[in-house]
Amino acid sequence: NAGVMQNPRHLVRRRGQEARLRCSPMKGHSHVYWYRQLPEEGLKFMVYLQKENIIDESGMPKERFSAEFPKEGPSILRIQQVVRGDSAAYFCASSPRTSEDTIYFGEGSWLTVV
């Protein structure tokens, strides 16, 4: 499967725990984007990364959220001390050579905070 791979697909966390969401871009893609979608709402841009670099994190909440895309391995979106309002679908997308290219989405990770 050459598509964008996300895991876990579903994650349940208690308030105060940490959530880690992983994303492997499509083969040959070097740009990764994370979006959040709250129930019945649109996709909100969170962060744009290239290997070992955060290009744009203007959509990331100032606290508790962080993202990385290491030289080796998947991109990781980390949410510390989760709260109920973090419950959402988190979509990763990737694009090929430039950020102007079309972005392709993974299947998403659904986070539920109880």
Partner 1 sequence: QKEVEQNSGPLSVPEGAIASLNCTYSDRGSQSFFWYRQYSGKSPELIMFIYSNGDKEDGRFTAQLNKASQYVSLLIRDSQPSDSATYLCAVNGANTGGFKTIFGAGTRLFVKA
* Residues at the contact surface with partner 1, assessed by CB under 8 A: 33, 35, 41-45, 48, 55-56, 58, 91, 93, 98-100, 102-108
Unique residue bearing structure tokens 């990770």: 109
3-state secondary structure 52-106: CEEEECCCCCCCCEEEECCCCCCEEEEECCCCHHHCEEEEEEEECCCCCCCCEEC
* Closer Cβ to partner 1, 25 or 108, answer by number: 108
- Shortest spacing between CB 50 and partner 1, in angstroms: 9
Unique residue bearing structure tokens 């659904």: 110
* Closer Cβ to partner 1, 32 or 79, answer by number: 32
- Shortest spacing between CB 37 and partner 1, in angstroms: 9
* Closer Cβ to partner 1, 1 or 102, answer by number: 102
Taking the C-alpha atoms of residue 93 and residue 32, their distance in angstroms, rounded to an integer, is: 6
- Shortest spacing between CB 88 and partner 1, in angstroms: 13
Host H or E run for residue 49: strand 43-50
- Shortest spacing between CB 43 and partner 1, in angstroms: 4
